[in-house]
Structure 1
Amino acid sequence: MRTPLTLLLSCLLLGVLLPGTAHAARYPVGSAPALTDNFLYKTGRLETTNCRTTPPKAGNVTSVKRYLLSVGKCLDTTWSAQFAKTGKPFTPPRIQILTEPHSYCGKPWTGSLLSDYCPQDGTIVFLITEPILKKPSKLSAFIAISHEYGHHVQRLSGIQDAYTRLPRRNAKERYEQARRHDLQAECLGAAFTRSVWESLKRPRGDWNALRANTARGGDDYWETHEYGKGRSIVHWMDSGFAAASPGDCDTWSASASAVA
């Protein structure tokens, strides 16, 4: 996801799906087992681990960089352990922390971009903006890195490739597939957050505040159709946070209303 800066600054019903079972694809996904019956869904709950981040100091760029990279190390620990359950290979992404915008992944930086993932080379890019530098410990920065890492997990599990191969007859289908793809990364990021939540020693109010701010954002706010309405994003965040399991992040089998 090209995480818009406005999302970080502003900081449905879904049928029950049993982990480990094959799910029927929803339109416009079609027959794509890598999306609806991926091995990742059968790996169970993420292990509860101690995420020892380096506390960031407001106004100190070096400190904020260290903090973000320490979050990345926690993500490496959690997701490498999850892939180890299956014997599948795991390679951590490269995390590039920027202090000023510049081109990446063969494309120019856009003014609203805060973070993104480049599937071509497996790199997460994150821009330290003035608001982030002012309040780097806000949960929004933690979630942004976790979300982009979710896209890396999609790449390693074959979901990314399967997504890019889906046929698209029109813009409507392309947008819905894009939402299913991005909402899954939201869910995976939230699942990781839950797995380390106790060690973060944050009040539950931090999570509730993030949910409230996210609900006011989404495609209506950004005037696009790629990421999902605020309520859909919150729905998948809740799904991941409740179970801390990739099996609860199968957006490809969900109803259209759950990925609107």
Structure 2
Amino acid sequence: MWTLVTAIAVLAAGLAGLDWINIGANPVGEVAKARSVSRLLQPEVGAPPRMTRLAGHPLLAHDVKLADVTCKLPPFDTPPEPLQAYYEAAVGCMEAAWAPVFAALRVPIRPVTINGADDIPRNLCGRPSADEAAAMYCSANTTIYMPRSRVLVPGGDARYQRAVVLPILAHEYGHHIQYLSGMLRAAERAQDDAGHGSAAALETTRRVELQATCFAGLFLGDAARGGSITKSAAEEMMDTFHTTLSSETHGSRLNQADWADRGHRTNATAQCDTWTAPADDVG
């Protein structure tokens, strides 16, 4: 069994109060104990306008669907240059799928930068250790960090590596969607109201993470239907969501798999509405 760890971090006022959220479990050890997302979810100065709400967010309306896209992805390989090219093409495909949704909402879909260096450099959101995160999204510079030393599985062939890496990338891009839409900021407000460190605040963290996982499944299903990846490749990628460990920050193993599957089965964003789901579904 392998397990998935990523992290999101965004810029707080004055660069203070940064903290990490672990996505899943550490592939080389136990899940690092998650801390509060308190003060993490503030947008940077000059950010595009957002609809800062959770329940009833227009992004999750029943008639909102990802665009059918067919993207030509380059061959997957693990050296730095071809891996970066694969990341760029895959994220371009994700953006093409989401762009019409944001256009309809009249919200700019700001591009994301992909950093595929050997390790996560110190950045505006800090630098988690390898035990804390394999990958991370930072809203302060709208960058996804996909360090080769952390996301690649030693000894795995290209097919297996791709099945592991693309779901991680899709999950991190899901956090970018949450950020652009204002849901991350709304989640921070919910935590403020609940009291940081409380059970209710921790539940909000799980709703954030499970939605990002659902958005990843949403894209993988869309990409398979459009022919960007084969259906068999998509199924291999979806298997990664079925082999994660239960986590207090990301939910039980069954719930993580369930939310990934909800997205994968359809291109309707309403399937990823974790905000109105019963507590048992995000436990």
TM-score scaled by length of structure 2: 0.74
Q: Which has the higher contact order (CA 8 A, sep 6+)?
A: 1
Pairing 1:75-224 to 2, within 5 Å after superposition: 75-112=94-131, 113-129=133-149, 130-131=152-153, 134-137=156-159, 138-166=162-190, 167-169=193-195, 170-198=197-225, 199-204=227-232, 206-219=233-246, 224=247
Secondary structure of 1:234's aligned partner:
helix
- CA–CA distance in structure 1, aligned partners of residues 69 and 171 of structure 2: 18
- In structure 2, the gaps of 5 or more residues are 1-5, 8-22, 30-50
Residues in 2 aligned to 1:128 and 1:152: alpha-carbon distance in whole angstroms: 20
Q: Using a 3 Å threshold, how does the CA distance of structure 1 residues 135 and 109 change in structure 2: closer, same or farther? A: farther
In the alignment of these two chains, the number of paired residues is 232
Q: How far off is 1:207 after superposition?
A: 4.2
Between the aligned partners of 2:230 and 2:156, the Cα distance in structure 1 is 19
Q: Is the 8 A contact 2:52 2:182 kept in 1?
A: no
Q: Is the 8 A contact 1:95 1:123 kept in 2?
A: yes
User: Is contact 1:124–1:148 with CA below 8 Å preserved after alignment?
Assistant: yes
Q: Decide whether the 8 Å contact of 2:134 with 2:147 is kept in 1.
A: yes
The Cα of 1:135 is off from its aligned counterpart by: 3.6
- Paired with 2:28 and 2:60, the residues of 1 have a C-alpha distance of 28
Instruction: Give the secondary-structure state (helix, strand or coil) at the position aligned to 1:193.
Output: helix
Unaligned 5+ segments in structure 1 are 10-31
Contact 1:4–1:115 (Cα < 8 Å) also in 2: no
Aligned residue type for 1:120: A
Q: Name whichever of 165-174 and 45-54 sits farther off.
A: 165-174
CA distance in 1: counterparts of 2:219 and 2:260, whole angstroms = 11
Q: Which runs of 4+ in 1 moved over 6 A?
A: none
Once the two structures are superposed, the pairs formed by residues 219-234 of structure 1 within 5 Å of their partners are 219=246, 224-234=247-257
> Greater share of helix residues, 1 or 2?
1
Match of 1:26 in 2: none
Match of 2:67 among 15, 34, 47: 47
Q: Shift of residue 139 of structure 1?
A: 2.1
| Distance change (3 Å), C-alpha of 1:125 and 1:8 | farther
Residue 244 of structure 1 aligns with which residue? 267
User: How far 1:103 moved relative to its partner?
Assistant: 2.3
Aligned counterparts of 1:7 and 1:207: Cα–Cα separation in 2: 21
Coordinate RMSD, CA, aligned: 2.6
The 1:54/1:212 distance shift into structure 2, 3 A limit, reads: closer
Structure 1 residues 207, 73: closer, same or farther in 2, change over 3 A?
closer
Question: What are the Cα deviations for residues 106-148 of structure 1, in whole angstroms up to 9, with x where unaligned?
Answer: 3222113221111222211111135279544422211111111
Q: What are the equivalent positions in structure 2 for 1:66-77 lying under 5 Å apart?
A: 66-77=85-96
Please give the secondary structure, in 2, of the residue aligned with 1:243.
coil
Task: Give the letter aligned to residue 213 of structure 2.
Answer: E
Structure 1 residues 139 and 200, CA, compared in 2 at 3 Å: closer, same or farther?
farther
Q: Distance in 2 between matches of 1:38 and 1:50?
A: 27
* Structure 1 stretch displaced more, 141-150 or 126-135: 126-135
Tell me whether 172-181 or 108-117 shows the greater mean CA deviation: 108-117
Query: How many angstroms does 1:190 deviate by?
Result: 1.1
Q: What is the Cα deviation at residue 211 of structure 1?
A: 4.4
Q: Deviations over 1:30-87 (max 9, x none)?
A: xx981011110125221111121111224x2211111111111111211112211222
What fraction of aligned residue pairs are identical, expressed as a percent? 21
Q: Secondary structure at the match of 1:92?
A: coil
Residue 188 (structure 1) shift: 1.1
* CA distance 1:232–1:85, shift in 2 (3 Å): same
TM-score by length of 1: 0.80
Contact 2:73–2:86, Cα closer than 8 Å, also in 1? yes
